[in-house]
Amino acid sequence: MEFFPIFLKLRQQRCLVVGGGEVALRKTRLLLAAGASLWVVAPELAPELAELAESGELEHVSGRYSPALLDGLRLVVAATDDAEVNRAVAADAEARGILVNVVDDAEASRYISPAIIDRSPLMVAVASGGSVPVLARSIRARLESLIPAGYGRLARFGSSFRDAVKARFPDVDARRRFWETVLEGPLADAVMNGDEAAARAEMEARIAAGGADRAGAVYLVGAGPGNPDLLTFRALRLMQQADVVLYDKLVAPELLELVRRDAERIYVGKARANHALPQDDINQLLVDLARQGKRVLRLKGGDPFTFGRGGEEIATLAEHGIAFEVVPGITSASGAAAYAGIPLTHRDYAQSVTFVTGHKQDGSIDLDWQALTRPHQTVVVYMGVSTAAELCQAFVDNGRAAATPAAAVEWATTERQRAVCGTLATLPGLMASHGIASPALIIVGEVVELADKLAWYRRSENSAVTIQED
């Protein structure tokens, strides 16, 4: 290792920043956040540094750097735009055994500042040895998405029980197993979601019971319309923690690749009149798996509360006293419309939007056609591919003009996305001739006219194709 990773306690320790510009300001913010007693030496200060000096948060030494300023210091940062001055600061600090950092000069530095993920008291630091700082920042950005802000609360919560757990579990291995059971799952989620009172009561009960088996829980997670980049941070984290995942047909294969490798996978997909597992059986399976102490991920395409039967599933879980959480996802209508360049509302075309499902459980079509055929609105039809001809004809029969723009978007937001745009009269034929199949949504309304101008999603010559009616 070129640099030994270490965390310094700088609270009330005297530190010095040499320089008064924007670079010095960035270092100053970090040192102040660590509680340092800070001096800044520079002839002039950047406006924000000057404000910090005026408020008494740091002491400004007006003038140029002098070696005498190093007396009694714990740490020094050289952050001027003069390489010669920076090197002089480094040499003087080295001679006195003071830790020194020269910004953008790892060779002259005794320490370097890493890219930091602050979830105090939990801290994560990433460094590239000073060679490629941008790479360290890029990795930090990725880790930011995987480490929720609530981990700080979880760290403080765990710290408050450290002595009690150590007394209850003298054996190191037993203590480690206990912490593993509580730092993931419902108890940890309660802490991070702000319900610390319930978590504290549960923690005390677990310590008293000597580390009973982990309680299971179910997480209903919206996987979004298909593009992995559209997952929420929370969804991704739960996907990587799950013991078992129940997924359906609308979950894109790319998303399943993000689930923990050793998690059990159970397909419970449904198509029209062809259910791999009836809904009641899915509900009961969620209960049974949770009672086995497993973290169960119910992964649903789009949003679990938008035609996803999420309400039915959590009703069963609540009835059986199973802990659960619902993680919203980008609903497929929003994803499909955005990636096809079709605004769902637009002040010149549509002032409202309605989501409907294309058929009932028995396959029949029974919609409020009077409401759906009002002017100046957009209608998005879920699960309407198999009944597209009947749906489009019903719109016309109930008052919408046959020339009303209409579109179908298949595999929205993914590399396989295709959109066909026509009218209520022509859309069924376009869908048939181009082989549009489920998963796909149908969008009806004047906003579809904008697709030709606003369709932006083009990944390759063979993907994300928008086909306009001739």
pTM, rounded to two decimals: 0.65
Predicted local confidence at residue 363, as pLDDT: 53
pLDDT tens for 289-340 read: 999 988 899 999 999 999 888 999 999 999 999 999 999 999 999 999 999 9
The answer to whether the annotation marks 123 as part of a ligand binding site is no
Q: For residue 264, what is the enclosing H or E element?
A: strand 264-267
Instruction: Round to whole Å and give the CA distance between 271 and 276.
Output: 8
Predicted local confidence at residue 262, as pLDDT: 85
The catalytic position among 92, 189, 243, 248 is: 248
Question: Please, which pLDDT band fits residue 142 given cuts at 50, 70 and 90?
Answer: confident
Instruction: State yes or no: is 248 an active-site residue.
Output: yes
Predicted local confidence at residue 214, as pLDDT: 62
Which residue, among 443, 346, 441, has the nearest Cα to 404 in the 3D structure? 443
Question: Please, which pLDDT band fits residue 77 given cuts at 50, 70 and 90?
Answer: very high
Instruction: Round to whole Å and give the CA distance between 131 and 113.
Output: 12
Q: Which residues fall within 8 angstroms of residue 276, CB to CB, at 6 or more apart?
A: 267, 268, 269, 270
Statement: residue 392 has pLDDT above 50 = yes
The answer to whether the annotation marks 303 as part of a ligand binding site is yes
Whole-number average pLDDT of the chain: 90
Predicted local confidence at residue 1, as pLDDT: 81
Question: Please, which pLDDT band fits residue 72 given cuts at 50, 70 and 90?
Answer: very high
The answer to whether the annotation marks 23 as part of a ligand binding site is yes
Instruction: Round to whole Å and give the CA distance between 115 and 26.
Output: 12
Predicted local confidence at residue 161, as pLDDT: 95
Question: Please, which pLDDT band fits residue 462 given cuts at 50, 70 and 90?
Answer: very low
Predicted local confidence at residue 465, as pLDDT: 62
pLDDT tens for 248-299 read: 888 888 899 999 888 999 999 865 545 568 899 999 999 999 999 888 999 9
The catalytic position among 105, 118, 249, 270 is: 270
166-187: average pLDDT: 84
The answer to whether the annotation marks 302 as part of a ligand binding site is yes
Predicted local confidence at residue 459, as pLDDT: 55
CA atoms within 13 A on the CB side of 311: 3
Residue 442, Cβ density class (10 Å: 0-12 exposed, 13-18 middle, ≥19 buried): buried
Which residue, among 386, 381, 415, has the nearest Cα to 252 in the 3D structure? 415
Q: Which residues fall within 8 angstroms of residue 63, CB to CB, at 6 or more apart?
A: 41, 43
Q: Which residues fall within 8 angstroms of residue 156, CB to CB, at 6 or more apart?
A: 121
32-41: average pLDDT: 96
Tell me the CA end-to-end span of the chain in Å, nearest whole number: 64
The answer to whether the annotation marks 225 as part of a ligand binding site is yes
